[in-house]
Structure formats: C-alpha cells, structure tokens
Structure 1
C-alpha cells in the first residue's frame, strides 16, 4: 500500500545575502558606520614655508649683528686715529694742554724747591787759615739753593735744616793735645757767633805710632735767613782733606 508521504519542507529565502528561514523575526537595527579616524596630533604636518621664514629671520639677525660689530670697530679705529693725529700735532707744535702744563709747572717748581736747598762741601787741602775752607763744585761737592761765601754756607730761606760735618784727624806722633771739631753759625744782625755742635777728642792715641781719629757731627736746626755756618778745628795741620774723609753740608727738610 503506497503511502503518500508528503513532507512539508520549510521555505528558505535569501534576503541581502542572508538566508531567510521563513520565520518572522524582528528586524535588526541598522549598524552604525565606524567614525572617521582621529588624526594624530603628535605629528604636525611639515610646513616648509614657515621653516624657511624662521631661517631667513635668524640669518638676517646674525648679519645685522655682524654689521653692527664692524661698524663699532670702524668707529673706534677712527676715534683712535683722530686722537693719534691730535697727539702728533701737539708734539709737532710742542703744545701742551693748559691743565697738564700747570700740573707740570707745579711739579717742576716743587722739585726745584726741594732740590735747591742743599749743599755738600769737601775738604780743600790748599787752605792755611781757619775756619776751614771748602771745595764747593769739584768732585762730589755741590751747592743748590745755598750760597757758599767766606768759608761758610749762607741760608737764604728760614726753615728746618739738617746740618752735618765730618773731619778725619791723622798724625804720626802721639801727643796729649785735645782735638776739637766745632760747627757754628753767624748772622750779621746778631753779634758774635753761636756754637751749634762740638766734639772733643782726648786720649785718641796710645803709642808713638801713626794714628787716626774720625769726628762726626750731625743734628737738626731751625736756621734763619742770612745765617752762615762754618766749621772750625783745633789744629788744621792734623786734618786729612780727602773728599771722602772730611766734608761739610746741609739740606732743608
């Protein structure tokens, strides 16, 4: 007995590439499209025009700085050349600025004033009388601002002076004679003379052999204008007149 087997197969439909099983299903919501990619902000697009502008600006500044330095150097050189030209012109015409000339004049006057007030006299072996006569110009002797007159030094300006005198006595026979060395002053406005320094030598030799004795005097005095200073000894024959042994002088402080 033939059985009529009727199988009912489900109907399948393809909708938009997907099979439709024939069952009623709720429609799925549409899928939203993907958002556009976010640009990477860490990488900026290269702007060649901007870089070129910055490079030109830096180059311009460097060139301007170099030109400024060159200009300042040229100005300095020009200024130095101008000063050198003025100095050459001043030297050629022997002109000195008034302020510098005044300063030099004051300095010269001060130096002359200091250099004038001094004298150093040395022994004169040709003398025979007292007070001692001196050599004022030869060898180490000189006078500056002090006059040598009548065997003495004449003061022309009141002030403080250091006065010194050195005498070397020498003999071949020992005796008991007292050796005297005196520096004294005179003034035409005052009578007589006034002793400033004195040295006396006793027992300066112990035998009959040749002997020598040095006598030095030196001190500070206030001297007046027209004072004259002289040196006297007890016996002129015993004086050694070598310029390094016997001398007389003074200088103003």
Structure 2
C-alpha cells in the first residue's frame, strides 16, 4: 500500500462516470496513485421514466376532473334557467288571469252550472246591469227550428232586455257576451245523422248567423241504445238597438228533457 509523506495511507477515491467518457484517465489514476486497477463500481438505479409516467397520469386525471366540473356546471345552469322560465310563465298566467274581466272569466263551455248565480250577483252589484238567462222550454214544436225558452222558472231571469217568441230584443247598443247550449237525446239514429246549432241576429229585416256548430257521425249504429250529444256556442258580439237574437237547431224534437242543460243568455259588457 502506498503512503504519503505524513506516514499514513491515502483513502481510496471512486469516480463514477455516468456518461461513459474517458475511461482511460480513471484507469491511469488508480494504477499510478493507488497501485491498483479500477475499483468495483457500486450499482445505482434511477427511475426517471416512472416519475414521468406518474406525472403524465396526474395531468390526465386533473384534466378529466375539470371536464366533469364544467359538465356539472352546465347541467346546473340549464336547470336553473328552466326553473326561471317556468316561474316567469306562471307569473304571466297569473297576471293575465287577474286582468281578465270577471264577467268573461266566469263563462266556460265545460262548466255552466254556476253561470246564473254569477249573473244574479252581477245584477245585484251593478245598478245598470243588462242581461238575461233563459232555460229550455217543454214545448219545442216550431217548424222553423227556432227554440222557445222559459223566462220565469228555475234560474231564468231577464233584466233590461225584452223577450218575445224565442228571441231577445236589444234595447241598448254595445258589446254583449252571448252564449247558448243545447243537448240532444236520440233513441234511434245512424252514423250518417247530423245536427246543427246556430245563433242568428235579425237586423233591419236581414237574418245573419253569428255562431254555428255542425256535428255528424255521433251515432255508431242504429240499435236501441240512446245517444246523447251536446253543443255549446259563445262569443263577444256588438249589437245595435232593435236587433233580435234567436237560437235555431236542426232537430228541436230531439232536445233533452233536462231543461237546465239547454239555455240561452247574454249580458252587456
């Protein structure tokens, strides 16, 4: 073992060349200074590829997380917008309902049971109320098809309007809501049978139809089964003084005997 001038041996020195360059210089140093060949190298392992793969995987996971977050935000935004639209439509419907006149709001084709009571209430509240509500009459033998109406029984009443021979006479020019409903009860019929229900106005000798309903095919066979069908007409019309209003049907003898289901009325707006 070689020594230095201080009398003790020099510690061995190891050089590791990871780049693989100048192996001769290392060998010369060990031979001349230390008196021996290349020392055994200590194995060393590094893992840069594994770290790169983990880093890449982490980046992909972060990207997928952001994508999912954006999708959830879009879904919540769409739900919020839909809820806002629904609330806005509900508010608009409520506002329109409040602005609708009470007189017209109470008139519906599906439910006419409370109609006379509403008109009577209007008559009590408004001193200038003009209107009438008549129900079906038992005698409907008119050859012309013009219906007769009951003016005193049940819910029938007249106020500010004249009635004569099945018709109303208008005493004051203005806008009126006019309505009529008829119900047919037929014992024998065929699929070719039909019926017509119309409301007409007579003005200065000229008869003009203002509303009409025509139905056919309501019977499926000509057996002994009874068939019932109905027709409802209603609209807002402008009438002049001395106009006459009538209701005509094609088969007056087929009208139902339930007279509350047959009615004719109007009131001034």
> What TM-score, normalized to structure 1?
0.54
- Residue 236 of structure 2 corresponds to residue 220 of structure 1: yes
Whole-angstrom CA distance in 1 between matches of 2:188 and 2:124: 53
Larger Rg, first or second structure (1 or 2) = 1
Seen in structure 2, the aligned counterparts of structure 1 residues 171 and 222 have a Cα distance that, compared at 3 Å, is same
Q: Secondary structure at the match of 1:206?
A: coil
Which residue does the alignment assign to 1:180?
A: 196
Deviations 1:13-59 (A, max 9, x none): xxxxxxxxxxxxxxxxxxxxxxxxxxxxxxxxxxxxxxxxxxxxxxx
Deviations 1:70-116 (A, max 9, x none): xxxxxxxxxxxxxxxxxxxxxxxxxxxxxxxxxxxxxx9982202xx
Q: Secondary structure at the match of 1:244?
A: helix
Question: May I ask how many residue pairs the two structures share in their alignment?
Answer: 142
Q: Within 5 Å, which residues of 2 pair with 1:66-105? A: none
Q: Secondary structure at the match of 1:217?
A: strand
Seen in structure 2, the aligned counterparts of structure 1 residues 251 and 172 have a Cα distance that, compared at 3 Å, is same
Q: Within 5 Å, which residues of 2 pair with 1:201-240? A: 201-207=215-221, 208=223, 209-240=225-256
Among 138, 142, 148, the alignment partner of 1:125 is: 138
TM-superposed deviation, 1:230: 0.3
Whole-angstrom CA distance in 1 between matches of 2:137 and 2:257: 6
Cα-Cα RMSD: 1.8
Which residue does the alignment assign to 2:213?
A: 199
Which runs of 5 or more structure 1 residues have no equivalent in the other structure? Answer: 1-107
Instruction: State whether residues 122 and 242 of structure 1, in contact with CA within 8 Å, keep that contact through their aligned partners in structure 2.
Output: no
Seen in structure 2, the aligned counterparts of structure 1 residues 163 and 109 have a Cα distance that, compared at 3 Å, is closer
- Residue 155 of structure 2 corresponds to residue 111 of structure 1: no
TM-superposed deviation, 1:178: 1.7
Q: Secondary structure at the match of 1:127?
A: coil
Whole-angstrom CA distance in 2 between matches of 1:245 and 1:177: 22
Which residue does the alignment assign to 2:173?
A: 158
> What TM-score, normalized to structure 2?
0.50
TM-superposed deviation, 1:192: 2.4
Seen in structure 2, the aligned counterparts of structure 1 residues 241 and 197 have a Cα distance that, compared at 3 Å, is farther
Whole-angstrom CA distance in 2 between matches of 1:127 and 1:153: 17
Q: Secondary structure at the match of 2:140?
A: coil
TM-superposed deviation, 1:196: 0.7
After alignment, is 205-214 or 215-224 more displaced? 205-214
Q: Secondary structure at the match of 1:237?
A: helix
Determine which structure has the larger helix proportion and give its number: 2
TM-superposed deviation, 1:236: 1.1
